Structure formats: C-alpha cells, structure tokens
Structure 1
Amino acid sequence: MTESTVASGPREMFERVRRHWLENLGGFGSELADNAVIEIPFAPPGRPRRHEGKEAFLLFADPEQAAFARRFALDEVREVVVHETADPEVIVVEYELAGRVLATGRQASSPFIGVLRVRDGKIVNWREYQNTLAMIEIMGQPGT
C-alpha cells in the first residue's frame, strides 16, 4: 500500500506536517479533514482563536503563512517529544520551530505544544499552544 492509501495515525500525521513545514511552510491543507477544527487558545487579542472547517482555516492561514515565509526561513523543527494518550486518535506534541529572520539573519526559535487528533487519516482537530507575542517580537512587529 502507498502512503496515500494507508490511514495515518496522529504520530505519522505530525511527521507529515513537520515535513510540509520544512519543505513548504504551511502547505499541509491536504492533511486536514473538511470539518477540521484548528484552535489557538493563546492568540493575541483581536486574532481568531478557533477556525471551524478546512476552508475557513486555509482562508486565514495561507496569507499569514505566506507573509511569515517572506520574513522568516524555517530551518528545523526540533526537540520533538510525542506523548501518547489513552485515546489512540490523540497525541500531545512538544516541539520548537527554529530558523532565521531574513532581514537581519538573526537566529530565532520558539516552543510550541500541539494537541493533535487524527481520524481516518486526516487531522480533525489541532489545538496549538504558542507564545504568539514572542513570535511577533521575533519578527519585529511589536504592538500588533
């Protein structure tokens, strides 16, 4: 069986998303179920904390990721720790995104925690905990 015909579990799915981030920042829309829910509980004020449906998330994320890629080169996803849960559809992943600010060459990294639910080989829920204000500071956008 090929990768496309085998339903991926959450651990395999995170690895696929990780590869997408490194090869084409973002670019993992094909991994999302049509009814996926993406949550960012610590989003800054005025930013959405919940996206319901693949289409709604991609309408938000695609321009955000394109703007990010113009300013930051992602070099690695490191210190990945995967915690299995009692639910075989769910993992908790600790990871750090590291790269360079293109305008200055400054090295930067930021830790994340993701709670990932995969069903029938598609992401149905991704809850990502990130320090969004630190990310804004790294990118040189204070106050937004």
Structure 2
Amino acid sequence: MPNPRYAAYEPADPYFNLVHGALGGLVDGDHFFDILADDVIYEVRYDVPGWPRVIQGRSGLMAAFRGYVDNIALQSADKLIAHKTDDGRVVVIEYEVHGTILATAVKYDNRFCSIVKIEDRKITHWRDYMDSLAAWNALTAQAR
C-alpha cells in the first residue's frame, strides 16, 4: 500500500519507481524518499529556473520535488541502464522520463544520467545530468 505521506508526489512516481528498481537491492526503504540519507546532497549539472543546483538534505529535496510535481506529471520512465561500480557503492543510471507540462499540456520527454553514491544502504550523494535543451523546449513551449 502506498505511503500516504508521499501522496502529493504521485506525479513523479514513474521516476521514483525506476530509481528504486535500479537501486533496490543496494538500498533500504520502500519509497524514493526513504532510500535517501537525511543529509543527502542532490546536485544537478544544469540550470533550470526555479530548481537549485545543489539541494541539501532529504527535506530540502522533498520541498524541491513538490515544485516539480506541481508543474510536471510523468506518465512513464524507461530505457534504464545501470552501471554498478565500487561494489555497489557508486551506481550510474541512465534513463528517460515522459510526461506533460501541466500549465501548457506540452509533452515532456527527457534523458538523464545520474551518478549515485550509496553508504550504509542509503543514497548520500546524487549528481544529475540531463538534456537541458529538451527541458527548455518543453518548459517554454506555448500552450496547446
């Protein structure tokens, strides 16, 4: 049964489920937010208005994702490729997400590569790369 604490984040479930599937055997927790260390550092290597380059702590990341799900609803996440290194302490995941920009109903399709560091069965550091042009095009497109 889904945790009601995370019900507001349901529009990002395809992403959360993909990550959990990629890392599930290496981390403890049932939901994306449960597999994060309290002091996780989530770093993005791109600029998107309203999204910080570095987010510190699980609560900070939850706040940032609240803004995400208020603006984008994902329908799916796929094309997962996982590269495990350092006995599973570092995992590189490549994947795609597909959704809709809520304000405009414009389709959102993007590709990501994330480098995930795991300690004591929790994610302690996340470095994210994405197709910035795809995000820009979707976020600045006119309403349909």
Using the TM superposition, give the Cα deviation of residue 46 of structure 1 relative to its aligned residue in structure 2, in angstroms.
7.2
Task: Name which of 49, 55, 62 aligns with 2:53.
Answer: 49
8 Å Cα contact 2:72/2:100 also seen in 1:
no
How far apart are the structure 1 equivalents of 2:104 and 2:51?
27
How far apart are the structure 2 equivalents of 1:68 and 1:89?
31
Gaps (5+ residues) in structure 2?
Answer: 1-16, 24-30
Q: How does 1:29-40 map to 2 (within 5 A)?
A: 29-40=33-44
What's the C-alpha RMSD, in Å, of the aligned pairs? Answer: 3.3
How far apart are the structure 1 equivalents of 2:80 and 2:19?
10
Q: How does 1:68-83 map to 2 (within 5 A)?
A: 68-69=72-73, 74-83=74-83
Using the TM superposition, give the Cα deviation of residue 108 of structure 1 relative to its aligned residue in structure 2, in angstroms.
4.1
Using the TM superposition, give the Cα deviation of residue 135 of structure 1 relative to its aligned residue in structure 2, in angstroms.
1.1
Pick closer, same or farther for the CA change 1:45–1:87 going to 2, 3 Å: farther
How far apart are the structure 1 equivalents of 2:100 and 2:60?
29
Aligned pairs, how many? 120
Pick closer, same or farther for the CA change 1:54–1:119 going to 2, 3 Å: same
Q: Which runs of 4+ in 1 moved over 6 A?
A: none
2:70 match: secondary structure: helix
Q: CA offsets per residue over residues 44-81 of structure 1, 9 Å max, x none?
A: 47742111211222222222322223xxxx22211111
Gaps (5+ residues) in structure 1?
Answer: 1-11, 19-26
Partner of 1:15: 20
Partner of 1:126: 126
How far apart are the structure 2 equivalents of 1:106 and 1:131?
17
| Higher helix fraction (1 or 2) | 2
How far apart are the structure 1 equivalents of 2:69 and 2:33?
12
